[in-house]
């Protein structure tokens, strides 16, 4: 009995509270039961959901929930201070404090170990990193975190960007500050989207805190559809192809043929979409059952006809965040600004530290001076140069948001380069304005292939691993073994074909079967839910796979 209570209420590093565990749905059922009693009392409802969200985060991230509380506490009072300040200077100072605290916390937990390694490498020091939160967790909860490595709290990039955007929006006058700490805590920590998004803007969500609960029959049907759709994406398609091919190949790419590496790479593009969009589908559905609307985060991204279109469809809450809080402040397509040069300097400092080569500093300084001089000598090129620099910087910073190593820098840089190259290509492309199905199919396939190629660096944990994969594809394709490999992986290939076919279905077809489900009677919905869960657990592995974006 005592052990059962510990399992329920204490953090277990090996059993986080995630959507793919039955324990979560038991937790959610209890949350709904309590919610059904108090939902008419908005203040009590918000406080209740804040507390259960804290419990959810504790069960998922352990003692790191104190970091969540710190971000909530500081930005609540900073938001009030910004709003109540009588001068622009005071508003800017408080905003700067919010930026410093949020990015400082993010940098400490995501980049401190990287900075320490770099300093030790460059200056031949022997500084050690000790994670005190991990030390306390090991002491009190029996976990086994590595004390020599700072582990980022689950979802820190998501809730940090969320609280930071709140302070910026209060400063810009887009939203008034929340007056109740518990209401603000609920906005920051709402458990469906807390650890992997979507990133929710204050202007979109805070007004919902004070609205009466409402859930129509159609919204209930939509919520159930999204939850089932998300579970199918994640567990039926994504996890299956990951376990049966992708994880094996990426762990040892040199032991597989180039064909197997290529199929694993295309499979990973499908997996990361199924995994991440599956999570957000479930999050949106769970939130909707409690009367809250979260923003759409994916819009069939592999239907994109160019790289720019892809980033309007993929992780839309992050893409729009980067656009509104990075790209536009840097000048966007109107030219450069001081923020452009600050961002460029930040990227170059990261590059120097990643490389561990101080001699790169004068080289990069010469590059910056050369760009500035080119813009001065040729005024007609200035707008083109600065706009494209803004695009590249936004994508590079987006890459660094995911992690502090060369692979993420490369991934972000390639995507930025893809957007820039397309801007020039569309001016001379012979089929840019063609709507013929062959032209559209080619554009979609080419974009999908380019995005898949960049995922080598997104998935690869080391630079050597990515090079091994590219080497195998380029030199050991194993064409004579196609029949044998197709026979060995026919189930995985069939699952990939199934996932991509569903993804590429016309939107009218998707709307049709979604509306069909929504209109079914409740008894039929129950049967469909039971059948879907049964189908999922026919292919599920013994150990449930974590969501990929939990690490960010």
pLDDT confidence of residue 430: 84
402 labelled catalytic: yes
| pLDDT, position 123 | 65
Identify which has the larger pLDDT, 337 or 451. 451
The pLDDT value given to residue 159: 87
Q: What's the mean pLDDT in 538-546?
A: 68
Q: How far is CA 316 from CA 162, 324, 422, in A?
A: 14, 12, 20
Lowest mean pLDDT among 4-13, 34-43, 177-186, 297-306: 4-13
Which pLDDT does position 497 carry in this prediction?
93
pLDDT at 532 over 70: yes
Residue 447, both tokens: 């974009």
Query: Is residue 336 within 8 Å of 315, Cβ to Cβ?
Result: no
Q: How confident is the model at residue 431 (pLDDT cuts 50, 70, 90)?
A: confident
| Residue 138, pLDDT score | 63
Mean pLDDT of 138-153: 59
Give residue 478's pLDDT. 64
Arithmetic mean of pLDDT, 376-401? 79
Mean per-residue pLDDT, 516-540:
88
Say what the pLDDT of residue 293 is: 93
Q: Which of 128-142, 143-157, 376-390 has the highest mean pLDDT?
A: 376-390
If pLDDT is split at 50, 70 and 90, which confidence band does 527 have?
A: very high
At how many degrees (to 10) do helices 379-402 and 156-172 cross? 130
Decide if pLDDT at 17 tops 90. Answer: no
- Active-site pick, 132, 144, 254, 402: 402
- pLDDT at residue 141 greater than cutoff 70: no
H-run or E-run covering 399: helix 379-402
pLDDT surpasses 60 at 542: no
Give me the helix-helix angle, 463-475 and 406-425, nearest 10°. 50
Give the pLDDT confidence score for residue 229 in this predicted structure: 94
The confidence score (pLDDT) of residue 221 equals: 93
Q: Is the pLDDT of residue 420 over 60?
A: yes
What's the confidence (pLDDT) of residue 495? Answer: 92
Question: What pLDDT sits at residue 406?
Answer: 76
Q: Is the pLDDT of residue 551 over 80?
A: no
pLDDT at residue number 377:
77
269 has a pLDDT exceeding 70:
yes
- Between CA 336 and CA 294 the distance in angstroms is 33
Question: What percent of the chain has a predicted confidence (pLDDT) above 90?
Answer: 32
Count of beta carbons in the 10 Å neighbourhood of residue 207: 10
Q: What is the pLDDT of residue 149?
A: 55
DSSP code for 506: -
**Mean pLDDT computed over 271-285:** 93
228 vs 197: which has the higher pLDDT: 228
CA distances from 350 to 68, 217, 330, 409, 414 (A): 26, 51, 19, 9, 17
The more confident residue out of 221 and 487 is: 221
Confidence of residue 408 (pLDDT cuts 50, 70, 90): confident
- pLDDT (0 to 100) of residue 118: 66
DSSP secondary structure letters along 334-398: G---HHHHHHHHHHHHHHHHHHT-TTHHHHHHHHHHHHHHHHHH-HHHHHHHHHHHHHHHHHHHH
Rounded to an integer, what distance in angstroms lies between the CA atom of residue 416 and that of residue 302? 17
Return the pLDDT at 273: 95
Tokens found for residue 14: 């090996």
Orientation of helix 42-61 relative to helix 22-38, angle to 10°: 160
The rounded mean pLDDT for the chain is 83
Give me 515's structure tokens.
Answer: 């509306």
What pLDDT, on a 0 to 100 scale, did the predictor assign at position 251?
85
């Amino acid at each position: 009995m005592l052990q059962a209570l510990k399992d329920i209420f204490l953090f277990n590093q090996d059993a986080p509270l995630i959507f793919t565990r039955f324990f979560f749905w038991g937790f959610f059922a209890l949350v709904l039961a309590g919610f059904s009693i108090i939902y008419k009392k908005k203040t009590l409802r918000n406080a209740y959901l804040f507390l259960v969200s804290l419990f959810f985060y504790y069960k998922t991230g352990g003692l790191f929930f104190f970091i969540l509380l710190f971000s909530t506490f500081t930005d609540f009072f900073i938001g009030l201070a910004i709003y109540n300040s009588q001068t622009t200077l005071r508003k800017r100072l408080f905003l700067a404090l919010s930026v410093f605290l949020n990015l400082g916390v993010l940098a400490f937990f995501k980049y401190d170990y990287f900075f320490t390694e770099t300093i030790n490498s460059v200056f031949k020091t022997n500084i050690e990193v000790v994670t005190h939160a991990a030390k306390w967790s090991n002491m009190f909860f029996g976990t086994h975190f590595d004390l020599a490595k700072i582990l980022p709290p689950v979802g820190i990039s998501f809730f940090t960007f969320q609280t930071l955007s709140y302070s910026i929006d209060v400063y810009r006058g887009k939203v008034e500050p929340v007056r109740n700490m518990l209401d603000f805590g609920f906005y920051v920590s709402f458990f469906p989207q807390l650890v992997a998004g979507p990133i929710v803007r204050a202007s979109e969500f805070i007004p919902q805190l004070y609205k009466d609960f409402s859930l129509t029959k159609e919204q209930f049907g939509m919520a159930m559809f999204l939850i089932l759709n998300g579970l199918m994406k994640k567990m039926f398609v994504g996890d299956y192809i990951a376990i049966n091919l992708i994880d094996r190949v990426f762990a040892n790419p040199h032991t597989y043929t180039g064909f197997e590496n290529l199929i694993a790479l295309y499979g990973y593009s499908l997996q990361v979409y199924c995994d991440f969009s599956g999570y957000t589908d479930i999050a949106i559905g769970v939130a909707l059952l409690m009367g809250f609307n979260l923003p759409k985060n994916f819009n069939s991204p592999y239907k994109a006809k160019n790289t720019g279109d892809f980033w309007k469809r993929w992780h839309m809450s992050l893409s729009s965040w980067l656009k509104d809080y990075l790209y536009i402040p840097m000048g966007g397509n109107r030219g450069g600004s001081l923020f452009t040069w600050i961002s460029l300097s930040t990227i170059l400092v990261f590059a120097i530290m990643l490389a561990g080569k101080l001699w790169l500093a004068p080289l990069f300084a010469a590059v910056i001076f050369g760009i500035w001089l080119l813009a001065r000598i040729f005024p007609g090129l200035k707008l083109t140069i600065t706009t494209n620099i803004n695009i590249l910087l936004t994508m590079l910073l987006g890459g660094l948001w995911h992690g502090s190593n060369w692979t993420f820098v490369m991934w972000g840089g390639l995507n930025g380069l893809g957007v820039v190259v397309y801007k020039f290509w569309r001016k001379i492309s012979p089929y840019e304005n063609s709507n013929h199905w062959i032209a559209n199919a080619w554009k979609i396939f080419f974009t999908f292939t380019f995005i898949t190629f960049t995922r080598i660096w997104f998935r690869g944990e080391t630079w050597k691993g990515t090079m091994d994969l590219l080497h195998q594809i380029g030199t050991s394709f194993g064409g004579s073994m196609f029949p044998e490999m197709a026979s060995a992986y026919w189930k995985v290939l069939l699952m990939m074909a199934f996932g991509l076919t569903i993804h590429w279905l016309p939107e009218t077809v998707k709307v049709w079967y979604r509306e069909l489900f929504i209109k079914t009677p409740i008894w039929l919905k129950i049967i469909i839910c039971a059948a879907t869960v049964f189908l999922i657990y026919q292919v599920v592995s013994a150990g449930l796979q974590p969501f990929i974006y939990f690490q960010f």
